[in-house]
């Protein structure tokens, strides 16, 4: 009998009697997979039956909070109530009052994709207000079309492939590092993990690695330069200053391939604002010796250099400007369009960035037409709830926030991903109804009125096709369905039936018929690419299909540069824009037509004594909040709290030692965390990665997450009025020893159910 497989964003697994085994071809399987099955089998956190919040069921109250009581109901009753409520909201407020941005990562399969399913359903009943861009890289999504004339998606597709870096790059300078931690994950799934090998091979081939980051763990075997978080733009501008001042900027490249280099130069040299962006100027802002900056600039000009910017850097105040400044620096070096050098955005931020694989756009589940054109920038959800009808700026538009009366969330966890969760917790009580579809009693499910339990991808068949992966996987169910959970498709089919749109939603197909339909589409796509896929039954039986000749090496901007600028980019000037007239014309208070330095709204440069900078990156043990109840994440906790990282000297000065529980706090909120120590840290930073399930309590009149959710501390503000991206990486905190009682973490136990 052929083996059976399943897949997740963190890898592909063979299903055996003893559980899941990573594919032998995957040299570095992610540790996240080891905690997957036990998380999905955890009866303390899986939702067994549909449940309705007692206060809403009996009195339609909106008192959503983490300790709410729920009443379990049979599916038919729960779906009846949901459909009646949906119809009531549409009839009384219109579809523009339904907010279903429903941002989140959900599962890797192509058919059971939570957001696509939800949107397809809501589109059959007139549509919903959506959300634009992502938490990952909204800054880049808005900026790149203006300055390089392509979407972030196309930019990511065209990035220079790893083999060219390995072969040609002599100096890889990575702002935000390039580590195996985020590279465990690939959106839509992956059959292999190679980023670590590519980096090792580059090093073995003589490429010198420079990790510009507050933590050494962000890049192995690298020289470490640790500017203050949030000061990278100043550092980059000073590197540019050195290149201009020493006549090492590539004037030929600047004049042929960029627009606005003169204005950029005048700004950097201080001709326009009287401040030359010298290494001495940056030294004070970045807390780095001026000599370090001069030396790095010289080496960048001497060597074949690749500049990489981790996605994290634009999840910060003015974050997209940092990306733009780094692009400008790469233009000054004049190595864009040459093999293995130039500019990259997000090598290492996920496994597939820079992967030399053929890109194939496989079909997905059609979502239909949304009758509502309105949307919000994804990270502005709390502002929307706070200020319906209020005007705000976004990418040159003046828009106004919709009045969301009903919220639908499926496949995402806003009480994981959003910033300043105490604020969201408060504003979340404004809508009339919140519906959440999720396998687990997440912090978001606990704050819903109607909770509909869905299967995880371990409980159903699906197809993994990732446009950047060289294999296609038939995902077989690996465990029995938990409780009475249903697939998203079954849940929404039940609702569509009650709304009179069953035929439109299902098109008469069962889930298996949809898989067959999607596979038939894949067969057509393969044919266009010159190869044949097996028929559905054979694919299902064999489980894995390797795409023939799947290697493809790309060199970004190769055509643009080879054509000597004749083949223009899709910007107004046809070139890379170092000055952008379109952005300048927006007259934004916090982003001009140039990549200019602006101090972040919070930062170590203006901190009070005792304040530390919070780094809240992606967790090593989970995908965001997913699998937090599983063994791998659980084993990493200290006294049940999420681990944080401090420099030993910082900890000692605070009276903390390893395995203590600390209180991390600021004016927005507080959380506990278990202390771990590392010398590879800036002394004025603390790392608390994302994803510990929010367990919010009032202690001595304060909001404290007793488990360790970093988003109790982060700041909920748009990066700029250009992108409105989130600024998770901009926050100051204080850390202290917690001497009081330590309340138990209860978020991994079922809520009160009757
Ligand atoms: N402080 C800070 N905050 C951050 C970040 C940061 O760097 N720092 N990073 C941000 C980024 S980049 C991102 S992408 C976000 C991620 O935020 P999210 O994507 O919202 O986080 P996940 O935990 O992956 O949420 C996915 C949810 O989908 C559910 N789910 C899984 N499978 C299914 C399914 O088949 N059907 C349904 N209906 N549900 C399913 C899971 O149980 C889980 O609740 O977080 C952001 N938040
Ligand atoms: N294991 C795991 N991998 C993941 C995910 C996950 O949840 N778990 N999530 C995936 C998702 S959705 C995304 S978007 C990507 C994100 O990928 P990234 O954005 O690359 O990952 P982060 O961990 O947020 O940040 C990378 C590093 O940036 C550094 N950094 C933070 N602020 C600054 C700064 O101001 N200056 C400098 N120079 N460095 C700074 C931090 O030290 C941090 O370790 O990760 C993906 N990969
Ligand atoms: Mo992300």
Q: Is the pLDDT of residue 566 over 80?
A: no
Same domain, 580 and 691: no
Instruction: Output the CA 315–ligand 3 centroid distance in Å.
Output: 10
% of residues, the chain, pLDDT over 90:
98
Are both 148 and 182 inside the same structural domain?
Answer: yes
pLDDT digits over 178-213, tens only? 999 999 999 999 999 999 999 999 999 999 999 999
Distance CA 525, CA 395 (A): 34
To test the pocket of ligand 2, the residue of 314, 348, 350, 618 to mutate (highest count of ligand atoms within 8 Å of its CB) is: 618
159, 234: one domain? yes
Rounded to whole angstroms, the Cα distance separating 285 from 599 reads 9
Query: Looking at the structure, do residues 721 and 636 belong to the same domain, yes or no?
Result: yes
Same domain for 709 and 635, yes or no, is yes
Task: Tell whether 155 and 303 lie within a shared domain.
Answer: yes
Q: Does the pLDDT of residue 1 top 80, yes or no?
A: no
Please indicate, yes or no, whether residues 322 and 352 belong to a single structural domain of this protein. yes
Establish if 673 belongs to a structural domain. Answer: yes
Q: Among 138, 176, 318, name the best residue to mutate to test ligand 2's pocket (greatest count of ligand atoms within 8 A of Cβ).
A: 176
Decide the pairing of beta strands 375-377 and 130-132. Answer: parallel
What pLDDT was estimated at residue 675?
98
Q: Are 439 and 453 in contact (CB under 8 A)?
A: yes
Q: Name 33's Cβ contacts closer than 8 Å, sequence gap at least 6.
A: 8, 10, 11, 13, 20, 22
- Residue matched to tokens 């999504």: 141
Q: Are residues 582 and 615 in the same domain?
A: no
Of the listed ligands, the closest to the CA of 378 is 1
Gap from CA of 298 to ligand 3 centroid (Å): 34
342: enclosing H helix or E strand = strand 342-345
Tell me the mean pLDDT in the region 604-626. 98
Q: Whose CA is nearest to atom 46 of ligand 1?
A: 417
d(CA 347, CA 334): 20
pLDDT-based confidence at 567, cuts 50/70/90?
confident
Residues near ligand 2 with C-beta < 6 Å? 32, 136, 175-177, 181-182, 184-185, 212-215, 218, 229-230, 232, 310-313, 316, 349-350, 615, 617-620, 622-624, 729
Q: In this structure, is residue 581 part of a structural domain?
A: yes
Closest ligand 2 atom to residue 134 Cα is: 14
- The pLDDT tens digits for 110-144 are 999 999 999 999 999 999 999 999 999 999 999 99
Q: Which domain holds residue 329?
A: 138-358+566-586
pLDDT value of position 565? 64
Burial (CB count within 10 angstroms: exposed 0-12, middle 13-18, buried 19+), residue 28: middle
* Residue 582 neighbours by CB under 8 Å, 6+ apart: 146, 396, 572
- Ligand 2 centroid to residue 313 C-alpha, Å: 8
Per-residue pLDDT at 540: 98
pTM for the full model?
A: 0.98
Shared-domain flag, residues 238 and 197: yes
- In this structure, the answer to whether residues 580 and 677 fall within a common structural domain is no
CA gap 115, 183 in Å, rounded: 24
- Measured between alpha carbons, how far is 132 from 139 in angstroms, rounded to an integer? 11
Task: Return d(Cα 427, Cα 380) in angstroms, integer.
Answer: 12
Q: 654 is written with which tokens?
A: 């605070």
Residue 442: the pLDDT is 98
pLDDT tens digits, one per residue of 366-407: 999 999 999 999 999 999 999 999 999 999 999 999 999 999
Same domain, 576 and 724: no
* Helix runs in 51-160, H state only: 54-59, 75-93, 114-124, 138-147, 152-158
Question: Distance between CA 6 and CA 463 in Å, rounded?
Answer: 9
Bridge partners (DSSP) listed for residue 546: 471
Ligand 3 center–CA 504 separation, angstroms: 32
The percentage of the chain sitting over the pLDDT mark of 70, rounded to a whole number, equals: 100
pLDDT at residue 478 greater than cutoff 90:
yes
What's the mean per-residue pLDDT of the chain?
A: 97
**CATH assignment of the domain containing 635:** 2.40.40.20
| Pocket lining for ligand 1, CB < 6 angstroms | 104-107, 112, 114, 135-136, 315, 410-413, 416-417, 437-440, 442, 454, 456-457, 488, 616-617, 623-626, 690, 710-711, 714, 728
Averaged over 654-659, what is the pLDDT? 98
Q: Say if residues 633 and 622 touch (Cβ distance below 8 Å).
A: yes
Q: Band the pLDDT of 562: cuts 50, 70, 90.
A: very high
107 Cα nearest atom in ligand 1: 32
- Measuring CA to CA, how many Å separate 651 from each of 240, 603, 642, 680, 697? 36, 20, 16, 13, 26
Query: d(Cα 24, Cα 192) in Å, to the nearest integer?
Result: 9
| pLDDT category of residue 564 using cuts at 50, 70 and 90 | confident
- Number of CB atoms found within 10 A of residue 665's CB: 19
Q: State the residue for tokens 């990790």.
A: 211
What is d(CA 319, CA 138) in angstroms, rounded to the nearest whole number?
A: 10
| Helix (H) or strand (E) run with residue 606 in it | none
Q: What is the mean pLDDT of residues 512-516?
A: 98
Question: Which ligand 2 atom sits closest to the C-alpha of 624?
Answer: 7
State how many domains the chain has: 2
Whole-Å CA distances, 514 to 111, 519, 521, 522, 708: 7, 8, 10, 12, 41
- Asked if residue 17 belongs to a domain, the reply is no
Instruction: Please check whether residues 353 and 236 belong to one and the same domain.
Output: yes
Alpha-carbon Rg for the chain, nearest whole angstrom, is 25
The residues annotated as belonging to the active site are: 103, 105
Q: Tell how far the Cα of 184 is from the centroid of ligand 2, in angstroms.
A: 12
CA angle (483, 485, 489) in 5-degree steps = 165
- How large is the average pLDDT for residues 314-342? 98
- Which of 106, 628, 694 has most ligand 1 atoms within 8 Å of CB, for mutation? 106
**708, part of any domain:** yes
Is residue 488 in a domain?
no
pLDDT tier at 2, thresholds 50, 70, 90? confident
């Amino acid at each position: 009998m052929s083996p059976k497989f399943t897949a997740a964003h963190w890898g592909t697994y063979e299903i055996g009697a003893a559980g899941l085994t990573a594919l032998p071809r995957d040299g570095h399987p992610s540790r996240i997979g080891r905690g997957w099955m036990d998380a999905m089998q955890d009866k303390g956190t899986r939702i067994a039956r549909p449940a309705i919040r007692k206060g809403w069921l009996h009195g339609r109250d909106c008192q959503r909070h983490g300790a709410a009581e729920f009443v379990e109901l049979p599916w038919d009753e729960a779906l009846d109530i949901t459909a009646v409520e949906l119809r009531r909201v549409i009839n009384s407020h219109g579809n523009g009052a339904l907010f279903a941005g429903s941002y989140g990562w959900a599962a890797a399969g192509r058919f059971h994709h939570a957001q696509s399913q939800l949107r397809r359903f809501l589109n059959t009943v007139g549509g919903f207000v959506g959300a634009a861009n992502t938490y990952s890289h909204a800054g880049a999504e808005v900026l790149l079309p203006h300055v390089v004339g392509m979407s972030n998606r196309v930019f990511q597709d065209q990035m220079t492939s790893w083999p060219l870096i390995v072969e040609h790059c002599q100096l890889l300078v990575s702002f935000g590092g390039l580590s195996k931690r985020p590279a465990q994950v690939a959106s839509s799934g992956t059959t292999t993990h190679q980023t670590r090998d590519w980096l090792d091979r580059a090093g073995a081939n003589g490429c010198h690695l420079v990790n510009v980051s507050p933590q050494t763990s962000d890049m192995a075997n690298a020289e470490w330069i640790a500017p203050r978080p949030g000061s990278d733009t100043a550092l980059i501008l000073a590197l540019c200053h050195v290149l201009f001042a020493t006549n090492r900027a590539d004037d030929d490249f600047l004049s042929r391939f960029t627009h606005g280099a003169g204005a950029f130069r005048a700004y950097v040299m201080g001709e326009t604002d009287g401040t030359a962006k010298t290494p001495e100027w940056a030294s004070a802002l970045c807390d780095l010796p001026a000599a370090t900056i001069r030396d790095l600039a010289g080496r960048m000009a001497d060597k074949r250099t690749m500049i990489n910017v981790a996605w994290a850097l634009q999840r910060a105040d003015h974050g997209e400007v940092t990306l733009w400044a780094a692009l400008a620096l790469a233009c000054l070096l004049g190595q864009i369009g040459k093999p293995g050098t130039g500019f990259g955005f997000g090598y290492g931020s996920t496994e597939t960035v820079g992967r030399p694989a053929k890109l194939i756009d496989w079909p997905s589940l059609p979502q239909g037409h949304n009758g509502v054109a309105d949307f919000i920038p994804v990270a502005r959800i709390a502002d929307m709830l706070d200020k319906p009808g209020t005007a705000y700026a976004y990418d040159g538009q003046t828009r106004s926030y919709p009045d969301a009366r009903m919220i639908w969330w499926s496949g995402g966890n806003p009480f994981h991903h959003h910033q300043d969760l105490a604020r969201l917790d408060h504003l979340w009580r404004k809508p009339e109804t919140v519906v959440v579809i999720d396998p687990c009693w997440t912090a978001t499910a606990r704050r819903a009125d109607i909770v509909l339990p869905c299967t995880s991808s371990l409980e159903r068949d699906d197809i993994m096709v990732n446009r950047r992966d060289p294999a296609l996987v038939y995902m077989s169910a690996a465990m029995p369905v938990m409780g009475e959970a249903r697939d998203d498709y079954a849940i929404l089919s039940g609702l569509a039936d009650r709304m009179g749109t069953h035929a439109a939603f299902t098109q008469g197909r069962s889930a298996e018929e949809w898989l067959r339909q999607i596979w038939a589409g894949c067969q057509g796509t393969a044919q266009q690419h010159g190869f044949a896929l097996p028929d559905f039954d054979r694919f299902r039986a064999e489980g894995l299909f390797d795409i023939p000749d799947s290697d493809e090496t790309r060199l970004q901007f190769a055509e643009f540069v080879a054509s000597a600028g004749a083949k223009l980019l899709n910007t107004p000037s046809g070139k890379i824009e170092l000055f952008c007239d379109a952005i300048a014309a927006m007259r934004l208070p916090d982003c001009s037509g140039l990549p200019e330095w602006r101090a972040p709204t919070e930062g170590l440069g203006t901190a009070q004594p005792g304040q530390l900078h919070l780094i809240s990156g992606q967790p090593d043990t989970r995908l965001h909040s997913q699998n937090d109840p599983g063994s791998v994440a659980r084993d990493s906790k200290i006294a049940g709290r999420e681990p944080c990282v401090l420099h030993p000297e910082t900890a000692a000065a605070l009276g903390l030692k390893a395995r203590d529980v600390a209180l991390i706090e600021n004016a927005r909120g507080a959380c506990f965390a278990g202390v771990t120590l590392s010398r590879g840290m800036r002394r004025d930073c603390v790392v608390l990665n994302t994803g510990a399930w929010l367990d919010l309590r009032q202690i001595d009149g304060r909001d404290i997450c007793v488990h360790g959710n970093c988003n109790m501390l982060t700041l909920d503000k748009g990066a700029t009025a250009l992108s409105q991206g989130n600024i998770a990486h901009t926050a100051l905190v204080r850390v202290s020893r917690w001497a009081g009682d330590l309340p138990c973490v209860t978020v991994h136990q079922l809520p009160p159910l009757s």
